Amino acid sequence: DYSKLDKLIIGVCGGDGIGPMITGMAQHALEVLLADKVRAGKVEFRVIDGLTIERRAELGCAIPPDVMEELKKCHVILKGPTTTPRKGDPWPNVESANVAMRKGLDLFANVRPVKVPELGIDWTFYRENTEGGYAVGSQGVQIDDDLFIDFTVATSQGCERIARLAFDYARKTGKNRVSCVTKANIIKTTDGKFLDTCQKVAKEYPEVQFDDWYIDIMTAKLLDDKRRRDFKVVVLPNLYGDIITDEAAEIQGGVGTAGSANIGKRYAMFEAIHGSAPRMVQEGRAKYADPSSVLRAAVMLLEHIGEIELAKKLDRALDICMVEEHKVVVTGRDTGATAQEFTDYVLDTIAKL
Amino acid sequence: DYSKLDKLIIGVCGGDGIGPMITGMAQHALEVLLADKVRAGKVEFRVIDGLTIERRAELGCAIPPDVMEELKKCHVILKGPTTTPRKGDPWPNVESANVAMRKGLDLFANVRPVKVPELGIDWTFYRENTEGGYAVGSQGVQIDDDLFIDFTVATSQGCERIARLAFDYARKTGKNRVSCVTKANIIKTTDGKFLDTCQKVAKEYPEVQFDDWYIDIMTAKLLDDKRRRDFKVVVLPNLYGDIITDEAAEIQGGVGTAGSANIGKRYAMFEAIHGSAPRMVQEGRAKYADPSSVLRAAVMLLEHIGEIELAKKLDRALDICMVEEHKVVVTGRDTGATAQEFTDYVLDTIAKL
Ligand SMILES: CC(C)[C@H](C(=O)O)[C@@H](O)C(=O)O
Ligand SMILES: CC(C)[C@H](C(=O)O)[C@@H](O)C(=O)O
Pick the CATH number of A1-107+264-353 from 3.40.1280.10, 3.30.390.50, 3.30.1490.20, 3.40.718.10: 3.40.718.10
Instruction: Give the H/E segment covering residue A101.
Output: helix A97-104
In eight-state DSSP terms, residue A204 is: T
Q: Which atom of ligand 2 sits closest to the CA of residue B81?
A: 1
Atom of ligand 1 lying closest to residue A98 CA: 3
Q: B72 CA to chain A: closest CA distance, Å?
A: 25
Q: Which residues contact B336 (CB under 8 A, 6 or more apart)?
A: B288
**pLDDT tens digits, chain B, 353 residues: what are they?**
888 999 999 999 999 999 999 999 999 999 999 999 999 999 999 999 999 999 999 998 999 999 999 999 999 999 999 988 776 777 777 888 999 999 999 999 999 999 998 899 999 999 999 999 998 655 799 999 999 999 999 999 999 999 999 999 999 999 999 999 999 989 999 999 999 999 999 999 999 999 999 999 999 999 999 999 999 999 999 999 999 999 999 999 888 888 999 999 999 999 998 889 999 999 999 999 989 899 999 999 999 999 999 999 999 999 888 765 445 444 444 556 789 999 999 999 999 98
Residue A3: band (very low, low, confident or very high) from pLDDT cuts 50, 70, 90: confident
**What type of residue sits at position A48?**
I
DSSP string, B267-280: -EEEEESS---HHH
CA angle in degrees (0–180, nearest 5) for A50-A56-A62: 105
Residue of B98, B111, B240 to test ligand 2 pocket, by largest number of atoms within 8 Å of CB: B98
Per-residue confidence (pLDDT) for residue B353, from 0 to 100 = 87
Q: What is the pLDDT of residue B257?
A: 83
Same fold, A1-107+264-353 and A114-254: yes
pLDDT at residue A264 above 90?
A: yes
Rg of chain B in Å (alpha carbons): 20
The reported pLDDT for the residue numbered B328 is: 46
Closest C-alpha to ligand 1, atom 3:
A96
Q: Which residues pair with A66 in a beta bridge?
A: none
What single-letter DSSP state applies at residue A273? S
**Strand blocks (E) in chain A:** 8-13, 43-47, 76-79, 109-116, 121-128, 141-142, 147-155, 177-182, 209-214, 233-236, 259-263, 268-272
Give the Cβ contact number of residue A166 at 10 Å.
29
Q: Which residues contact A258 (CB under 8 A, 6 or more apart)?
A: A112, A113, A114, A245, A248, A249, A252, A273, A293, A296
Instruction: Give dist(CA A183, CA A150) in Å, integer.
Output: 17
Q: How far is CA B109 from the centre of its chain?
A: 9
Q: A114-254 has which fold?
A: Isopropylmalate Dehydrogenase (3.40.718)
- pLDDT at position A331 is 47
pLDDT confidence of residue A228:
97
Cβ contact B277:B21 at 8 Å: no
> Following CA atoms A87, B218, B131, B123 in sequence, which dihedral angle do they give, to the nearest 10 degrees?
-120
Distance linking the first and last C-alpha atoms of chain A? 28
H or E element at residue B141:
strand B141-142
- Ligand with an atom nearest the CA of residue B241: 2
- The predicted-structure confidence for A119-149, as pLDDT tens digits, reads as follows 999 999 999 999 999 986 557 999 999 999 9
In this prediction, residue A273 carries a pLDDT of 85
- Give the residue with greater pLDDT, B136 vs A306: A306
Structural domain spans, chain A: 1-107+264-353, 114-254
Question: How many Å lie between the centroid of ligand 2 and the Cα of residue B59?
Answer: 22
Strongest mean pLDDT among A84-88, A195-199, A338-342:
A195-199
DSSP helix/strand/coil, A177: strand
pLDDT at A137: 58
Calculate how far, in angstroms, residue A242's C-alpha sits from the geometric centre of ligand 1. 6
Q: B114-256: which CATH topology?
A: Isopropylmalate Dehydrogenase (3.40.718)
Q: Is the pLDDT of residue A31 over 80?
A: yes
- Angle at alpha carbon of residue A92, lines to A88 and A94, rounded to 5°: 115
The reported pLDDT for the residue numbered A335 is: 55
Given this model, what pLDDT does residue A330 score? 47
| For the CA of B244, the nearest ligand | 2
pLDDT at A305 over 80: yes
Angle at which helices B308-322 and B19-33 cross, to 10°: 130
Measured at the CA of B54, the angle between CA B53 and CA B60, to 5 degrees, comes to 80
The SS3 assignment for B256 reads helix
What mean pLDDT value characterizes chain A?
92
